[in-house]
Amino acid sequence: MKLLTKPYFLLFTFSYLTVKYLQYQNIALPSFIQHHLNDLLCLPIILTLGLFLVRKIKRDAQLELSIWHILGMCTFYALYFEYYLPQKSIMYTADPVDALMYFIGGVIFYVLRKWELRKGLLSS
């Protein structure tokens, strides 16, 4: 459970939800925050939740996601949300910057996990 109480996970989740709330309230936000911040935060949040669930299912608190798992999720999100969905619905817009944000978010997740591993701070 400690994985879901990591300061970076709480900060990313709070920031993501705050942006969603402000958008829902039609409050004007700076362009980067309005259009790209949640795409940047999405993968660190999703990957942390996924890691938590896989650890619980496998009952292995030391399990980590490989770089290939992370890149696979980034690629899936980029293709699904920036290529496939814009072709199927006018609600979605293809934006290469958003795709880049998914990959940067994946790198952020990877770097944070490696830093914790190096510092001996990893825990479930």
Spatial distance between the Cα atoms of 97 and 74, rounded to a whole number of angstroms: 13
| pLDDT value of position 124 | 44
Position 26 pLDDT exceeds 90: yes
pLDDT tens figures, 50-81: 999 999 999 999 999 999 999 999 999 999 99
Q: Are 51 and 65 in contact (CB under 8 A)?
A: yes
Q: Where are the domains of the chain?
A: 2-119
